[in-house]
Structure 1
Amino acid sequence: MPPPPVPPQARPRVVGRCPAAPLYGPELDGDSLPAFYAGLRRVHGPVAPVLIAPGVSAWLVIGHRELLRLTREEQDFSHDPRRWTLLREGRVPADSPLMPIVGWRPALLHTDGQQHRRMRTAVSDAIAAIDGHELRRTVRAAAEGLIASFADRREADLVPHYARGLSLQVLTRLLGLDDRTGQLLAQAIMGMVVTNADSHNASARMDAILQDLIKEKRRRPGTDITSALLNHAGGLTDDEVLHNLVVTLVTGHQTTVNWITSTLRVLICDPAFRSSVSVGHLSVDDALDLVLWRHPPTQNFPARYATRDLEFGGQQIRAGDMLVLGLAGANQDPSVLPESGQPVVGNRSHLAFGAGPHMCPAQDPARLITRTAVDTIRHRLPDLELAVPESELAWVKSPWSRGLAALPVRFTRPQLPRPPRHRMRTQEAVPDEESASGPPQ
């Protein structure tokens, strides 16, 4: 049943003389965002009025303490977008490019209380059943194959040629899809995330692919996530399985791509950090955490909806207002960073994965996938360097996703595994997991 109606409001277009800042547009590339969030904090404090599309207003929560409250207090902040005043008033049309991302689905992302716990338990159990050793082998095999496919050219764009292809191969195997269908699915996901006129078509293509997958797994279940959800004791319907798969894919695929490429960018472009990792003073995990602080793969995450009028972060919030989780902005909150403004090594109090009952349930496999992907390419291509000036790197233009659109690199000394000469020497020719994840040779 939909939630009870809330009073119609038109919020928040203007606060005092300060118009709401747009979260979209070509000027908001990856490197300009820290200054953008700092400016919002100076003018508005920890909760700022923004536009997530022309004429569509929301509050962006960029205070660390405030974001923790937003994610933990479901009695004040619901996940159900059917509470959203602008949607109820008809001010967000059904065909808006925003709707595939913020529209209601019968999935854990849009439910509260017992319904959320039932679905989250099913998703968490399905993810927990993933064999970590097998996942690492799958990631390494995909990484080795992708590197070999472009090694002879001595150049590549690591977004489409490596990170995106790797995430695609791994996720499709986890869900039980074949490679070709997985590629079509990845294209549909990208079409949704960029939030443009084709977003609705992309969403429909994704749903059709997943519906076929669910039918197949009902007939012939396997050891994949889809089969685990279909057979979970929580009794998820096919429709609930479909939409929880959508949430898993949309929140998992592009964020993994962004995390891999942002970490590689740091290791390529920051010589001191790269040297510290190479000699063992810092680990690849330290690089991963640095990225989660400075360049979280998801910059802003939709959304919570106020269940009542209240004062929050110095702003007057009305029932039905949308509040967007400003993950990147909250990570920059001076109240949680050292005086230098830089996160300390080993500090994982960032909010890149969210917080509270809805915190991302796939953190561990996501880290394993990203770490293995970064380790493998460092080992195989030890002299990676950017093929363009860092200032010319292109970024994905999205209110939600903070990632590189391209990461062109070159290299001269690929160190690919030697093919085995005969069966007795197979293990000599193919590095084991420990040697493949060690420092570059």
Structure 2
Amino acid sequence: MGPRFHTDPAALYREMRRDHGPVVPVLLPGDVPAWLVIGYREMYQVTGDPVLFPRDPGLWNQWPHIPQDWPLLPMIGNRQPSIYYTVGEEHQRHLKMVEGALERVSRMELRKHAEELADRLVDGFCAVGEAEVISAYAKPLPILVLGRLLGFPDSDGPALIRTLGALADGGADAIAAHQEFGALVGRLVAGRRERPGADVTSYMLACPAHFTDEEYLLDLMAITAAGYLPTADWIGNSVRLMLTDDRFAASLTGGRHSVHEAMNEVLWEDTPTQILAGRWAARDTRLADRHVNAGDLLLLGLAGANSDPETQTATAGSADGFRDGNYAHFAFSHGEFQCPFPAREIAETIARTGIEVLLDRLPDIDLAVPARALARRPSPFLRGMTGLPVHFTPIPAYGGRR
């Protein structure tokens, strides 16, 4: 978690491969040992074998050494019965309920919500001629759209942004943020039990299979957390790419490289979820040239695996360096525990709509600071911008009319 991890991760991953190979021994806060998988083939092996490498923290051999206030506990050591931390038939039961609810989301209504909320946010700064895109746009847009889909009131947006950001950063306030986040979702579940609506929470509660209120709450927490910050960073990282990469300069005025291409390039080169926790070895085994003990934690180095030089040629795209149409990245993980397909569609629709509205409304948008001055969030798990200052020609607000 040193500065180079955030300023030059590509070079750091190269050094890791040189010194340790595709499976790297690492220490988490408190000197907790783990393996960081950064090889493409090894990532495919781990994510593709849910029997040998299940997502079951109950197997962890470090539990006797983990204090109750360990800051990464909400991100790594959660042993509660949610879609994220169940395995086998129980995981499939949760997955069926969540996917069924997400599939009922109208894609037309989703885009309508995304456009309306994007326009509302742009209205808040378009007449000024300058803005900070991350805090004013990229962060609030996904949570406001997801909030509508899930049934949260718009007024919960600021609290969700604050608590989920603290969780991702894994700092001293992560435990308290997790508790506050749980309280927000708990109120949502209780409210939708009394007053069902046309939202994902109500669809989940209407599932004929039996789930406890705790299970609904935990699954909704997983959906919200997994859908919010990665989507916000997908927007921010894509806009940054389009404003700083000369290959995209023409695209801002309708050139050859599209928003879709920028978004796919980000999933390869600047993926929002760079490290994902985790998998646990069900028995002693070998991975690459490493002996992995039963119960060892494996962190999925998605960004590291995407940049594995052994697969760069095989996964290359067009002659100009873009991976046009190549979606063999690990941005959404892989295998049984990968991001559910309806959730990916929702995230892509929110991100793409958000970027398109921003560029449509502010066609001459440009960075207000040198690219080298841009800073990254300190999170070890998520790779996003702390700020993206821009300037543009001031325009009048739409006032909610497009």
TM-score, with structure 1 as normaliser: 0.86
Structure 1 position 358, deviation (Å)? 1.1
2:369 is matched with 388
The one-letter code of the counterpart of 1:106 is P
**Gaps (5+ residues) in structure 2?**
none
2:149 is matched with 174
Counterpart Cα distance in 1 of 2:28 and 2:10? 18
Counterpart Cα distance in 2 of 1:80 and 1:186? 28
Q: Residue 99 of structure 1 is aligned with which of 59, 73, 76?
A: 73
Residues 302-328 of structure 1 show CA distances to partners (whole Å, capped at 9, x for unaligned) of 000001111102111000100011100
8 A Cα contact 1:267 1:273, kept in partner: yes
2:332 is matched with 353
Query: What are the residue-to-residue correspondences of 1:263-282 with 2, within 5 Å?
Result: 263-276=238-251, 278-282=253-257
Residue 68 in 1 paired to residue 47 in 2?
A: no
- Equivalent residue of 2:65, what SS? coil
Counterpart Cα distance in 2 of 1:279 and 1:405? 28
8 A Cα contact 2:259 2:356, kept in partner: yes
Greater relative CO, 1 or 2 (CA 8 Å, sep 6+): 2
Query: What are the residue-to-residue correspondences of 1:90-239 with 2, within 5 Å?
Result: 90-102=64-76, 103-239=78-214
8 A Cα contact 1:52 1:399, kept in partner: no
1:20 is matched with none
Q: Paired residues, what number?
A: 395
Counterpart Cα distance in 1 of 2:178 and 2:268? 30
The one-letter code of the counterpart of 2:42 is E
**Gaps (5+ residues) in structure 1?**
1-23, 420-428, 431-441
8 A Cα contact 1:298 1:327, kept in partner: yes
Structure 1 position 365, deviation (Å)? 0.9
TM-score, with structure 2 as normaliser: 0.94
2:358 is matched with 377
Counterpart Cα distance in 1 of 2:230 and 2:14? 23
2:222 is matched with 247
- Equivalent residue of 1:59, what SS? strand
Question: RMSD across aligned C-alpha pairs, in angstroms?
Answer: 1.7
Q: Which runs of 4+ in 1 moved over 3 A?
A: 276-280, 339-343, 413-419
Residues 12-63 of structure 1 show CA distances to partners (whole Å, capped at 9, x for unaligned) of xxxxxxxxxxxx234421x411111111111111111112324012101111
Counterpart Cα distance in 2 of 1:253 and 1:336? 30
Counterpart Cα distance in 1 of 2:264 and 2:278? 24
Inter-CA distance 131–33: structure 2 relative to 1 (3 Å threshold): same
Residues 135-155 of structure 1 show CA distances to partners (whole Å, capped at 9, x for unaligned) of 111111111111111112111
Q: Sequence identity of aligned pairs in percent?
A: 37
Residues 81-126 of structure 1 show CA distances to partners (whole Å, capped at 9, x for unaligned) of 1211112xx2121111111111222111111110010101111111
Counterpart Cα distance in 2 of 1:104 and 1:398? 22
The one-letter code of the counterpart of 1:289 is N
Counterpart Cα distance in 1 of 2:396 and 2:93? 48
8 A Cα contact 1:382 1:414, kept in partner: no
